[in-house]
Amino acid sequence: MHQEQCTTLTVLDNVPFGTVSGESLFFALRIERPEWADWQPGQFVMLRPEGWALDMMWARPFSICRVSKRDLVIFFQVVGRGTKRLAELKTGDKVVVWGPLGTPFAVEDKTPTLLLAGGIGIAPLVAYAQKHPQPWNLHMEFGHRMPLNCYPFESINERITAASHLERGPDDLAHFLDLIETSIKEYAESDGLVLACGPTPFLRAVQAFAAKHGARCQLSLENRMACGVGACLGCVTKTTDKMTAKGVAAGRAQACEHGPVFWADQIVLDED
Amino acid sequence: MHQEQCTTLTVLDNVPFGTVSGESLFFALRIERPEWADWQPGQFVMLRPEGWALDMMWARPFSICRVSKRDLVIFFQVVGRGTKRLAELKTGDKVVVWGPLGTPFAVEDKTPTLLLAGGIGIAPLVAYAQKHPQPWNLHMEFGHRMPLNCYPFESINERITAASHLERGPDDLAHFLDLIETSIKEYAESDGLVLACGPTPFLRAVQAFAAKHGARCQLSLENRMACGVGACLGCVTKTTDKMTAKGVAAGRAQACEHGPVFWADQIVLDED
Amino acid sequence: MNMNVTLPGSTGLQFKNPILTASGTFGYGVEFAPYGDLTSLGGIVVKGLSLEPRAGNPMPRIAETPCGMLNAVGLQNSGVETFITEKLPKLPTDELPVIANIYACDPAEFGELTAVLAAEKGIAAIEVNISCPNVREGGILFGQDATLAARVTEAVKKAAGDKPIIIKLSPNVTDITTIAKAVEGAGADVISCINTLSGMGVDIRTRKPLIANVIGGLSGPAIKPVALRCTHQVCKAVSIPVIGMGGIASAEDVLEFILVGAHAVQVGTSNFLRPDFSFRLVKELEQLMEKMNITDLEEFRGSLKL
Amino acid sequence: MNMNVTLPGSTGLQFKNPILTASGTFGYGVEFAPYGDLTSLGGIVVKGLSLEPRAGNPMPRIAETPCGMLNAVGLQNSGVETFITEKLPKLPTDELPVIANIYACDPAEFGELTAVLAAEKGIAAIEVNISCPNVREGGILFGQDATLAARVTEAVKKAAGDKPIIIKLSPNVTDITTIAKAVEGAGADVISCINTLSGMGVDIRTRKPLIANVIGGLSGPAIKPVALRCTHQVCKAVSIPVIGMGGIASAEDVLEFILVGAHAVQVGTSNFLRPDFSFRLVKELEQLMEKMNITDLEEFRGSLKL
Ligand SMILES: Cc1cc2nc3c(=O)[nH]c(=O)nc-3n(C[C@H](O)[C@H](O)[C@H](O)COP(=O)(O)OP(=O)(O)OC[C@H]3O[C@@H](n4cnc5c(N)ncnc54)[C@H](O)[C@@H]3O)c2cc1C
Ligand SMILES: Cc1cc2nc3c(=O)[nH]c(=O)nc-3n(C[C@H](O)[C@H](O)[C@H](O)COP(=O)(O)OP(=O)(O)OC[C@H]3O[C@@H](n4cnc5c(N)ncnc54)[C@H](O)[C@@H]3O)c2cc1C
Ligand SMILES: Cc1cc2nc3c(=O)[nH]c(=O)nc-3n(C[C@H](O)[C@H](O)[C@H](O)COP(=O)(O)O)c2cc1C
Ligand SMILES: Cc1cc2nc3c(=O)[nH]c(=O)nc-3n(C[C@H](O)[C@H](O)[C@H](O)COP(=O)(O)O)c2cc1C
Ligand code: FES
Ligand code: FES
């Protein structure tokens, strides 16, 4: 019935993108293509190097950024112990991968669709722009703190319009949020679609603007995950009474199964 | 006062030796030369790859097989989890190394010296033959179960005589032990020196023969070790009342500090 | 080769191999169906059930630790009724022993819950969580006090009809054998051990606990030595069968628990290493037994040389 | 930056930084002198001492486990007299607080041992191991029973003169706070926690236990969540200072124990990762504090947000 698979795949290469004070913190990890029948943007994989032995038990979730005939590419940022060790992966190393997992972003061919990306949250939206049947209906606003060449901004489908905003301090942030609110309001008025992925404070702002202006909006969450398949209940998000997904009970939905993409009005974002 | 050091070194290469049913189980691991003032055959290093993170906490002890201007070479056999992962080490990987540790083999320039090696126990004796000031006084008997090309037998100092014995079953073993007993008896009669390194049952046989014929004999033990510096008391061996080493008390001596090389009449070998 | 396990006594419990999955780590089974054949497992123990739906603990609920993890999921579940009507029918219960894991706040509620499940043909046995350290309303107490543990056991036994009952012990006690003997005396058919160790983690940057509940349960290979010690002690202390668990991550680990006397094992946290972990483990155990010339597990069981 | 630690109360104990080395993992200090400057450490706790020499447990005594190890060394030592005459003079006791760790079979012997050490100028404090799970003659009992723990504490306190006494607690109890309060009440100046968890390992091929003593003590990063939970609970339960330990393997780990309220920490099993581990840790802690803008540890201590 499902099509998820779990396989051990070989790393093709692990390419650093840009540098921050001389350090490489962003990588495009390219691995053998898994034998998937299909996948959709917004879905993710769980990935765990075999070399981790038992020290770190959990795989890490990453958005699918690109799948070609030969490879699967994810794009990641070093933030902690796991991603630090992912950065050390070399050609020929083995990784365990399962997926494609989760609920993808809504695709409405003819609807004007606004893509809001914060930092590394750009990864699934790169895939979205690539796979969309009518990309001329898409526009992206991308806010980031690190130099632009740290992110796969260049590789965004050329047929969509996209603007990037470097955030150097509170003023830049305020400006970016204003801009986002204005855009969300516009898209709401034309019954457009707003899709957002990024850090939680960013998603909280988007959620508030969408509620205020009545925009149809989806958010992609990055909750901590252990199993990735809906079993451990570690990644749940609180739901509102607007939640309609089948199988969601007790006001809690697993982000790995019923998300990571949720309709903004169906969830309550946690405090941290 | 001491000269041991602990440093992080780079792997130069990790060369498989021979194969057993198609599998590589023996390796010569070559790493950067540590900055040691001096070392002596029979001494060992503790070695732990940085990539082990916290999963396996202990370094593993290995005899020093060769030290040149450029490199330090150890020779190892895959027997368990740790050595299996050592076999995966690649050029450029980092290993933590401390040493040279322990008490070396006795060197008596002019004394006829018999080297008894069992399997991977050949490693420190390769170093011994290489460094001995008068190698023409040395003779080696080498017993092994795996094909000869699995071991560094070829690289033994050409100026010593050496015989190898493949053990295919109980008959070969009995024959080898007979031969060893005869040799030990001969060396005992000429007040020679007998040095042995190999699996515990082998050492136990050598110890018994040496006692029986009154040979001056040293054994190199391979006890399980955690610290390598005499602190954890995990590697101790029982001692006899002939033990004279300073600081040994309560009938127990740390193999890492007072050994790994002991006079055969000063220790009691454990049951397993 | 015989991997078959029949629990002695009147339980009638049979597994086609000794590998079961542990409660809370394998969902309701269906989540793992895309990754392997559920009926190849010895059995599954489903996520803890309560009489009424529960929202569980606040987030964050899980944190990774060296060779293990902490959890304070706190028994989020949609209640026993929903389980019976929505989840159970999806499972191949004819070919797969499905064990219900239950949790309640007092012996009477334990009894009520048991009665509901006892009526279900698809349920092979009932595992009683007297040891959950996560829920504040007394959760930890049942498992840490011999008298309370016995009282819960009696209440469940009375309501269980002919369903075997398994009491799951906590390691967070001074002497686990006291509790084991108490629940054996009170009528337990089987003991399973261990539940998680009481642990904690903090984030030095936010200065907050890693999980909202502050204290959570530690599981995974980190706790295997403790689990093996508990299983060994319990096997020596009681004469009912024991199901061992705690940190199992390889076929060797499975045999370790059987060597100290367990009849079967459960795999928990390792299911997160990869979702096909338990399915692969069944095959690896078969290969290992072959390599080690173990033709009958019952012969190997408890053969530790002391 | 102020890494200095002064224990409150009448103990007079001062460390130049909060990093001490744990008993049994750092020998008598001298073994590690070739790898770093002993006086750069906050202090060292030497291997457990007894009144008479002891041969310790049979071999094998140690086994590696996931993110940890088991040990049943069993207090091999050449007796307190030999320590005083042969080991202590080799240590730079003027610049380095050297803490003696002691073990005995009954309160009277604990007292006798303490009296011998109390006379030594070079000893900064006495740490009392009431929690060793390795020695069969009652070792485990003192630490698992509040009354016995208090009795040992009183005996040691009476004999200690003005030397501060540190009681080291075992985690192998249902409620560690009961024991903590009992030893505080009996006059302990400081509590250290935790000693090892009771664990076990077996070899499926030889069918024998991994360590000859069958049951041993589990230590290392595997137990850090349990150690942190115990330290947190004890810090809340008592008002005397607490030294935390269990699985510390990084500067972050040190701050975690201080965050839950510990005044200082001890590093054990991680000394086996590399013999210069503790020396490096002191420097790493300094760097981390700088990076995190912690100028005073006392301000950071116990600032966990609950
Ligand atoms: C569905 C999904 C898709 C994702 N896609 C991407 C992607 O395409 N590229 C990318 O770089 N990252 C992505 N992330 C986030 C990524 O999974 C985390 O950055 C990573 O797991 C952190 O692991 P770590 O061991 O380095 O950090 P840790 O040491 O575990 O933690 C470091 C910090 O990251 C936080 N963290 C830990 N785990 C997660 C997690 N699973 N998600 C978010 N934060 C976490 C911690 O709370 C902590 O603050 C995605 C997350 C999810 C859930
Ligand atoms: C002083 C000394 C010098 C040595 N020199 C060499 C050498 O030059 N080449 C070489 O291949 N090996 C040498 N050894 C043995 C080597 O250290 C072990 O084979 C290795 O530690 C096993 O690690 P593992 O993780 O693969 O095995 P494990 O999985 O830990 O254990 C596998 C088996 O090896 C045994 N074992 C574990 N640790 C040790 C140990 N430290 N010593 C002996 N047996 C152990 C176990 O009891 C078990 O039976 C030496 C040992 C010592 C003490
Ligand atoms: C995320 C998670 C949820 C759990 N939920 C339950 C539960 O609902 N009921 C229960 O009895 N045990 C529960 N447990 C405990 C496990 O069943 C098992 O006893 C424990 O994790 C030890 O095994 P392991 O080390 O193999 O994981 C849970 C464990 C984890 C990791
Ligand atoms: C090999 C070894 C020997 C030990 N010996 C003693 C001892 O003699 N006295 C004692 O109080 N604790 C002893 N311990 C316990 C440690 O001091 C410490 O409490 C425990 O290992 C937890 O810390 P860790 O996880 O950092 O190792 C020993 C631990 C190990 C690993
Ligand atoms: S990660 Fe386990 S339920 Fe989502
Ligand atoms: S290995 Fe620690 S004393 Fe020898």
Strand partners, A195: A115, A218
Residues whose CB is less than 8 angstroms from the CB of residue D85 and which lie 6 or more positions away in sequence, other chains included: none
Task: Give mean pLDDT, residues C165-181.
Answer: 95
Q: Between B35 and B263, whose confidence is greater?
A: B263
D76 alpha carbon, closest ligand? 4
Q: Measure D82 CA to nearest chain C CA, in Å.
A: 35
pLDDT band at D139 (very low <50, low <70, confident <90, very high): very low
At D140 the pLDDT is: 55
Residue showing tokens 């579940």: C77
Asked whether residue D65 is domain-assigned, the answer is no
Q: Could you give the percent of chain C with pLDDT greater than 90?
A: 84
Chain B, nearest residue to A57 by Cα: B55
- Mean pLDDT rounded to a whole number for chain C: 93
d(CA C186, CA B222): 51
DSSP per-residue codes, D59-109: SP-EEEETTEEEE-----B-HHHHIIIIIGGGS-TTTS-EEEEE--SSHHH
DSSP 8-state code for residue C178:
H
Whether C11 shows a pLDDT value over 90: the answer reads no
For C53-76, how does the pLDDT look when each residue is reduced to its tens digit (9 = 90+)?
888 888 999 999 999 999 999 878
Tell me the two tokens of residue D204: 């499926």
Give the residue numbers of C marked as catalytic: 132
DSSP state of C86: I
C104 alpha carbon, distance to own chain's centre: 16
Classified by CATH at the fold level, domain B113-268 comes out as Rossmann fold (3.40.50)
Q: Which residue has the tokens 């060369």?
A: B15
Q: What pLDDT score does B35 carry?
A: 87
Under a CB-based contact definition with an 8 Å cutoff, are residues C257 and C224 in contact? no
- What was the pLDDT predicted at D138? 44
Number of domains in chain C: 1
Ligand 4 centroid distance, CA of D101 (Å):
10
Q: Which chains touch A (3 or more CB pairs under 8 A)?
A: B, C, D
pLDDT, position B36:
87
Domain that holds residue D238: 5-60+79-197+220-300
Residues of chain A with CATH 2.40.30.10: 5-101
- Nearest atom in ligand 2 to the alpha carbon of residue B235 is 53
Backbone angles phi, psi at B208, to 5 degrees: -65, -45
pLDDT tens digits for range A229-240: 999 999 999 999
Residue D222 above 60 pLDDT? Answer: yes
Nearest ligand 1 atom to the CA of A56 is: 25
For ligand 5, whether the C-beta of A228 sits within 6 Å is: yes
Q: Look up residue D84 and give its amino acid.
A: I
Distances (CA, A) of C269 to A2, B221, C52, C219, D254: 23, 39, 26, 7, 27
What is the separation of C-alpha C25 from the centre of its chain, rounded to a whole number of angstroms?
10
Which residue puts its alpha carbon closest to atom 53 of ligand 2? Answer: B222
Is B59 in Cβ contact with D66 (below 8 Å)?
no
Task: For residue range B222-244, list pLDDT tens digits in order.
Answer: 999 999 999 999 999 999 998 88
Instruction: For helices C146-159 and C107-118, give the axis angle rounded to 10 degrees.
Output: 30
pLDDT 10s digits, B163-217: 999 999 888 888 899 999 999 999 999 999 999 999 999 999 999 999 999 999 9
Q: What is the pTM of this model?
A: 0.95
Chain B nearest-CA distance from A224, in A, is: 22
Of C76, C75, C71, the residue nearest C200 (C-alpha) = C71
SS3 label, residue D269: helix
Q: Report which listed range, C43-52, C72-81, C130-139, is most confident.
A: C43-52
The segment(s) of chain A belonging to CATH 3.40.50.80 are 113-268
Phi, then psi, of C128 in degrees rounded to 5:
-105, 120
Cis peptide before B100 (omega within 30 of 0): yes
Q: Which tens digit of pLDDT belongs to each residue from D240-252? A: 999 999 999 999 9
**pLDDT given for residue C135 in this prediction:** 47
- Please report whether residue D214 resides in a domain: no
- CB of A205 within 8 A of CB of A269? no
Say if C247 is an interface residue toward chain D (CB within 8 Å).
Answer: yes
CA C302 to chain centre: 20
A16-26 pLDDT tens trace:
998 888 888 99
Active-site residue numbers of D?
A: 132
- Dihedral (Cα; D208, D210, D215, D218), 10-degree rounding: -160
pLDDT, position D16: 96
Which chain D residues touch A55 with a CB distance below 8 Å?
67
CB contact, 8 Å: C63 with chain A?
yes
Residue B130's pLDDT band (cuts 50, 70, 90): very high
**For residue D186, pLDDT beyond 90:** yes
- pLDDT-based confidence at C137, cuts 50/70/90? very low
Mean pLDDT within D196-213: 96
Which chains border C (3 or more CB–CB pairs < 8 Å)? A, B, D
Banded model confidence at residue D78, pLDDT cuts 50, 70, 90: confident
In this prediction, residue C139 has a pLDDT band, given cuts at 50, 70 and 90, of very low
Return the percentage of chain B with pLDDT > 70, whole number: 98
CB D193 within 8 A of CB D155: no
> What is the predicted ipTM?
0.94
Query: How many interface pairs between B and D have CB atoms less than 8 angstroms apart?
Result: 119
Taking residues C134-144, what's their average pLDDT? 59
Smallest Cα distance from C66 to chain B, Å = 7
Binned at pLDDT 50, 70 and 90, residue A5 comes out as: confident
Per DSSP, D166 falls in state E
For B116-155, letters b (16+ CB in 10 Å) and e give bbbbbbbbbbbbbbbbbeebebbbbbbbbebeeebbbbeb
DSSP state of D22: P
pLDDT at residue number C154: 95
Q: Which of D5, D99, D22, D17 is nearest to D266 (CA)?
A: D22
Mutate which of D47, D140, D219, D281 to test ligand 4's pocket (most atoms within 8 Å of Cβ)? D219
Beta bridge partners of B31: B11, B72
Dmax of chain C from CA atoms? 55
Tokens matching residue B121: 């126990």
pLDDT at residue C134 in the model: 44
- Contact of B55 with chain C, judged by CB distance below 8 Å, is answered with yes
> Looking at ligand 1, which residue's alpha carbon is closest to its atom 11?
A76
**Residue D205: which pLDDT band, with cuts at 50, 70 and 90?**
very high
The per-residue pLDDT for range A166-189, each reduced to its tens digit, is: 998 888 888 899 999 999 999 999
- Is the CB of residue B120 below 6 angstroms from any atom belonging to ligand 2? yes
* Three-state SS annotation for B198-243: CCHHHHHHHHHHHHHHCCEEEEECCCCCCCCCCCCCCCEEEECCCC
Range in A93-97, B1-5, C134-138, D123-127 the model is least confident about: C134-138
Which residues in B lie closer than 8 A to residue D31 (C-beta atoms)? 227, 229-231, 257
The CATH number given to whatever domain includes residue D286 is 3.20.20.70
pLDDT at D137: 44
Confidence at B245, pLDDT banded by 50, 70, 90: confident
Mutant choice from B4, B36, B233, B270 vs D, greatest count of D C-beta within 10 A: B233
Question: pLDDT by residue (tens digit) across A98-111?
Answer: 999 999 999 999 99
Quote the pLDDT of residue C227. 98
B52-65 pLDDT, tens digit each: 989 999 999 999 99
CB proximity B54 to A under 8 Å: yes
**Across the interface, do B53 and A54 touch by the CB < 8 Å criterion?**
no
Rounded to a whole number of angstroms, the CA Rg of chain D reads 18
Nearest to B55 among A53, A88, A90 (CB): A53
> Count of residues for chain C?
306
Query: Which chain A residues have a beta carbon less than 8 Å from that of B49?
Result: none
Q: Most D CBs within 10 Å: which of B2, B35, B54, B269, as the mutation test of the D interface?
A: B54
Is residue D275 assigned to a domain? yes
Percent of chain D having pLDDT more than 70?
97
Q: Which residues, in sequence order, are CB contacts of C120 under 8 Å at separation 6+?
A: C84, C88, C100
- Nearest-atom index, ligand 2, CA of B79: 26
State the average pLDDT over residues B92-103.
Answer: 95
Taking alpha carbons only, the member of C144, C174, C272, C255 closest to residue C219 is: C272
User: How high is the mean pLDDT of chain B?
Assistant: 92
- pLDDT of C16 > 90? The answer is yes
Indicate the average pLDDT of chain D: 93
Higher pLDDT, B140 or B2: B140
* Dihedral of the alpha carbons of C102, C103, C107, C112, in degrees to the nearest 10: -50
Residue A145 has pLDDT above 60, yes or no: yes
Q: Alpha helices of B38-89 — where are they, by DSSP H?
A: 81-86
Interface test with chain D among C70, C197, C229, by most D beta carbons within 10 Å: C229
User: What is the SS3 assignment for C43-56?
Assistant: EEECCCECCCCECC
Which fold would CATH assign to domain B5-101?
Answer: Elongation Factor Tu (Ef-tu); domain 3 (2.40.30)
Look at residue C78 in the predicted model and tell me its pLDDT. Answer: 84
Question: Can you state the angle between helices D146-159 and D107-118, rounded to 10 degrees?
Answer: 30
